[in-house]
Structure 1
Amino acid sequence: MSDLDSKINEHFAGYVVRKDLVKAVKGNAIVPTYVLEYLLGQYCATDDEASIESGIETVKDILRKHYVHRSEAGLIQSTIKEKGRYKVIDQVSVSLNEKTDSYEAVFENLGIKKVAVDSGTVKAHPKLLVTGVWCIADVQYEFSEDHRISPWILEAIKPIQIAKVDYEGFKTARAAFSTEEWIDILMQSIGFNPDAFGHRSKLLQLMRLIPFVERNYNIIELGPKGTGKSHIYSEFSPHGQLISGGEVTVPKLFVNNSNGRIGLVGYWDVVAFDEFAGREKKANKALVDIMKNYMANKTFSRGVSPMGAEASFAFVGNTDHNVPFMLKNSDLFEALPAQFHDSAFIDRLHAYLPGWEVDVIRSEMFTSGYGFIVDYLAEILRHLRSEDFSNRADVFFKVSPQISTRDRDAIFKTLSGYLKLLFPDGGETEAEVEDLLRLAMESRKRVKDQLTRIDSTYPDVDFHYVGSDGAKRAVTTVEEEEFPQFYHLKPALDPKEQGSEDEVVDVGRGDTSEPVAALQGNSASGTPPQSKKLQPEEGHKVYAENRKGISYDMLFGPYTDGAQRIVVTDPYIRFYYQARNMMEFVEMVIRRKAPEDQVAVHLVTGPDDGNIAQQREFLESISTACLGSGVDFTWAFDTSGTAHARDIVTDTGWKIE
């Protein structure tokens, strides 16, 4: 175990689980992560290997005996009949049969309907009336000659969620961790290896949790496919509900006028709309109007009496074009259906999470470390929904008075969510608050800047804040810094007038071929550098994390020109993407040097004790691919463990840190 794993087991004993165990027990069971971790939390919430192995077998046995596969539904029904009673794990929903004045349950996988449910069960678990809930249930079979009476009876039911948490104990234990340690714990809790992400990337991943901790919070994430946009909302919490954007109706989401039954917003903390994007999709105008009213006022009405709810909305979808194309030809909301590509709807979004900054999920991004049992963390976040941390920033900073009330509310809700996630016990520093405040303002600025392109009646807003020193500090978005020539275009022009998509350079990551193939395709062929050869200068340069379009040529090229030996020190060249970054640096040296020159590039890195064989393979593949290129690539492990800093040193006297 890592030091962090040991520490979290020490302070949160019984509430953490090794995250790779989910795959070990899941098999072909189509159940959310929180269901599996609920079971793992009962038997594997320990760091003792023997107990873990025993617990895994117990959980596997429970799933084997009691989880209902649709293909085995008939066998389980027979088992219930023969035994008279049997425990099952299934998704259960309940409805009222007005003809018989009784409640009836439907077991999704077991395939049985009209299961008798008593009123006390429904009152104790009202969510059953709205949608399917994963439960552990005892089902009885009692045959009756009266065909009107169903033989199936629900004897007992327990929704899969933790019963009680010690919130004060949680806050006390949080104080034992540094901010970076706590961020890494949250990353591991949602299943990711924190070493595979930068600081900003971690915060963007955690922004997806804000709807769970903040009431009536509206967030949108649009970006490329495969970045895990909907995973959090479907797998993370028993208090969230993921629905397809095209399947929602007014009665299902808000209230059914025929029976007065409230919809999803009344029972769930988060309602997420999957596959929300798509210009060709159609949305009911009445639904759009009632959604806009609810997002602005936390209330809704269908001609009877106004009702209130606390559910947050999350909208996730895929973009069709890259960022420069959208900025040049339309706007960052171009993928939304026409009915939602509406300034009044967009203005009610508190934050726009830039999905193009989130990497496509790869296998090395998943963690094998310890994190909170997601059900435990979900209950903590639900408890925090009743608190408001938005005024904590006032001690250090003042947001520009030019920013409207709606913009300020959006900024402070995002900030409050981050503070609840990272500092539930308080104790945040001025620098830490500023980091979160800037990201909260940027997330709202992205919404507001696009509104000025979509609707000319929206004025430009100067997003800035004033620090404790009285200095004004402006806030920009990453894409604003990266594409200033497109970012402030307005009004948005029709793509036919601007030209075809091919006229815009895609600044994405490029292909995902293996390092050897990619490098061998760039041998010393005299290919000119991609950027102008700028003169190297001493100084300190700052680039926003996740900003694209900043090539190695721009960063390092001028400082490596003319060098015959370059030493790169980086203790973390371990995963595929890290080896690829090293390979791209070598490619840059090959392109920039004269064909007749010979350059030695030496890497000093740390060994990956968990998978050193694969690490060696990656590094040797770079050495092999360099043969005949004029660059001699060598590498060595720093076994002393003293190489913690990252730097590049050339024999021409430059040092880049």
Structure 2
Amino acid sequence: MNNISPERPYNNQKIRDIFGELSIDKRRLPSSGLTSIGVPSFVAEWLLDKIVPGEGELTPQEHEKVNRFVQKAFPRKDDREEIKFDLKTGQTKTIIALMQVRVKFGKGGEEITEPFARIPTLGFDSCMISTDLINENRMLLRQGIWGKITLSIPSNNKIEVFDFDPFQCSLLDRNAYANFRAQFSNVEEWKDLLFCSMGYNPEHPSYTPEAKTWMLARLIPLVERNYHVMELAPKGTGKSFVFENINSKVAVLSGGKVTRAQLFINGRTKEIGALGRHDVLVLDEVQSLTIDNPDEFIGPLKTYLANGSYNVSSFSDQPITSDCSLVMLANIELTSQLQPRNPNHLVANLPRFFSETALLDRICGIIPGWKIPKFQQAMIASQVGLKMDFFGEALLALRSDPRFEAYAKQHTNFDSKTVNVRDEKSIIKSASGLLKLLYPHLELTPTEYQEHCLKPAVELRQYIRNSLYHLDDEFRRYGQKIICT
């Protein structure tokens, strides 16, 4: 059941008129069942618009058409041997999956072998692939790309990627995206479009303006380089949902053990870790995170959080640089009043190294997930929003635009008695990120900047300050409250 605000109803037709084929009825995806089989939203929405374009929930006939396509094109792990047999008997197979390309060092450690393609869902790790296909799709060498993969076995008896058709959105022009925004005079109307595009129902009464602000703050790591943030929330608020579905340049590592090889570099294979391959890396369930040899892990992590590079001497004397944003998600317990049990030390129940002030101070802010309602079925978007593939690429395209940071610096005044250098840097990055999200055309008043960008940016950092103030006398000389205008 939709609860439409009488003051500002969601205008589906306006979205269709402005964005055309870049928009989609968000009811299509939940009714398709594609995400339940592990297809991320940015791939699923692209496919739906190609296979069964239309509006509303899928009809039984459309659903059957999608099912036939999925059974034919999307391999499962237990299809591995059958596909190998078909290839061995001379057939050509076309599948839709994520593919990556890796280049190994030879046994001597200096000679570089021929590149090879990996298709993780099938466990294929050494497929031949031409350099032409790699040069046409360079992101294969990083986090990989979803696309249509054509496989065959030529005379050399090895599986080969014969052809590759990547899934890509049709528009990445920042100026065009800014022009789209200029057609929305009301920032709340634009917020609702972003909210719907994330997959949430902007008309649900539980999504208050404040809740929407903090849910939209989850997107800041996509638009800001090296933006490191935590979100602390009770279970069930959907912390990782948007990260798992928005773009292949965003990776999620869930709970358990995280190794130095996973994050930084694999000392045996010399493969760059996740921080060097992705634009955004999400560590989920960090309350249960365990690390072997914490000293060897936390040192490079602190260095990376501070300056966007890390040095692993076993690989190279030169530091490895990256602009990957790091997001840390954790569950916390709340009181009966739905407030954190340790409001002045929010990371108290996380692994001990999060309470090390040298690490905590390098994190830009904490998203107050306890101010976000728990997810319910009625909170799924049912309006027209942006296709997830276009939406994700449009946000990532804003990362390299320096105008927003310059605007934030020009329109922010810090009280030097209450703010240190890291506070300033963090607040400016948060405010710049919110500017990119809400005002990509950079047309706003100083009052709008203060209300929609600077105020939440300060609050994000204030949660860090509260813990630092509690943990270390050094930070008490600034007082507990951050003051800036």
TM-score tier after normalising by the smaller chain length:
0.7 to 0.9
CA contact (8 A) 2:333 2:340 kept: no
Q: Which residue matches 1:315?
A: 328
Match of 1:120 among 129, 132, 147: 132
1:63 is aligned with what amino acid? V
Q: How does 1:526-545 map to 2 (within 5 A)?
A: none
CA distance in 1, matches of 2:101, 2:289: 35
Identity between Structure 1 and Structure 2 (%):
27
2:33 is aligned with what amino acid? K
Q: Which residue matches 2:423?
A: 407
Question: Does 2:202 correspond to 1:194?
Answer: yes
CA distance in 2, matches of 1:421, 1:325: 28
CA distance in 2, matches of 1:426, 1:45: 34
More helix by share: 2
Cα shift readout 1:142-189 (whole Å, capped 9, x = no counterpart): 4x5xxxx54311111234332542332221121111211100000100
2:321 is aligned with what amino acid? G
Question: Does 2:464 correspond to 1:454?
Answer: no
CA distance in 2, matches of 1:26, 1:213: 29
CA contact (8 A) 1:91 1:107 kept: yes
Question: Does 2:73 correspond to 1:66?
Answer: yes
Question: Does 2:32 correspond to 1:25?
Answer: yes
CA contact (8 A) 1:244 1:275 kept: yes
Question: Does 2:265 correspond to 1:255?
Answer: yes
1:382 Cα deviation from its structure 2 partner: 1.4
1:307 is aligned with what amino acid? I
1:215 Cα deviation from its structure 2 partner: 0.3
1:365 is aligned with what amino acid? M
Gaps of 5+ in 1: 467-657
Cα shift readout 1:532-588 (whole Å, capped 9, x = no counterpart): xxxxxxxxxxxxxxxxxxxxxxxxxxxxxxxxxxxxxxxxxxxxxxxxxxxxxxxxx
CA contact (8 A) 1:91 1:108 kept: yes
Q: How does 1:197-596 map to 2 (within 5 A)?
A: 197-257=207-267, 260-278=270-288, 284-303=294-313, 304-322=317-335, 326-327=341-342, 331-388=345-402, 389-393=404-408, 397-402=412-417, 403-435=419-451, 436-459=453-476, 460-466=479-485
Match of 1:179 among 187, 201, 208: 187
Alignment partner of 2:37: what SS?
A: coil
Alignment partner of 1:332: what SS?
A: coil
RMSD: 2.9
Match of 2:22 among 15, 27, 33: 15
CA distance in 2, matches of 1:44, 1:431: 45
1:327 Cα deviation from its structure 2 partner: 2.5
Distance 1:150 1:343, change over 3 A: farther
CA distance in 2, matches of 1:45, 1:413: 39
Distance 1:214 1:154, change over 3 A: same
CA contact (8 A) 1:9 1:46 kept: no
Alignment partner of 2:97: what SS?
A: strand
CA distance in 2, matches of 1:65, 1:309: 38
Q: How does 1:12-91 map to 2 (within 5 A)?
A: 12-27=19-34, 28-43=36-51, 59-81=66-88, 84-91=91-98
Alignment partner of 2:258: what SS?
A: coil
Cα shift readout 1:501-533 (whole Å, capped 9, x = no counterpart): xxxxxxxxxxxxxxxxxxxxxxxxxxxxxxxxx
Q: Which residue matches 2:121?
A: 109
1:465 is aligned with what amino acid? C
CA contact (8 A) 1:17 1:44 kept: no
Question: Does 2:174 correspond to 1:162?
Answer: no
CA contact (8 A) 1:275 1:316 kept: yes
Cα shift readout 1:363-402 (whole Å, capped 9, x = no counterpart): 1111111111111011111111011313434665523232
1:35 Cα deviation from its structure 2 partner: 1.4
Q: Which residue matches 1:573?
A: none
Cα shift readout 1:383-424 (whole Å, capped 9, x = no counterpart): 110113134346655232321111011011001101101100
CA distance in 2, matches of 1:104, 1:194: 44
1:452 is aligned with what amino acid? Y
Distance 1:400 1:156, change over 3 A: same
Name the count of aligned residue pairs.
Answer: 459
Distance 1:327 1:340, change over 3 A: closer
CA contact (8 A) 2:342 2:348 kept: no
1:153 is aligned with what amino acid? E
CA distance in 1, matches of 2:421, 2:81: 59
Q: Which residue matches 2:5?
A: none
Gaps of 5+ in 2: 3-8
2:373 is aligned with what amino acid? D
1:112 Cα deviation from its structure 2 partner: 3.7
Cα shift readout 1:50-100 (whole Å, capped 9, x = no counterpart): 999987666544323111123444444444455621210123334446379
Alignment partner of 1:385: what SS?
A: helix
Cα shift readout 1:440-493 (whole Å, capped 9, x = no counterpart): 101101101111111222222442234xxxxxxxxxxxxxxxxxxxxxxxxxxx
CA distance in 1, matches of 2:385, 2:293: 39
Match of 2:153 among 141, 153, 161: 141
Relative contact order, higher structure (CA 8 A, sep 6+):
2
Alignment partner of 1:195: what SS?
A: coil
TM-score w.r.t. the length of structure 1 is 0.64
CA contact (8 A) 2:98 2:145 kept: yes
Alignment partner of 1:12: what SS?
A: helix
CA contact (8 A) 1:15 1:41 kept: no
Distance 1:342 1:50, change over 3 A: closer
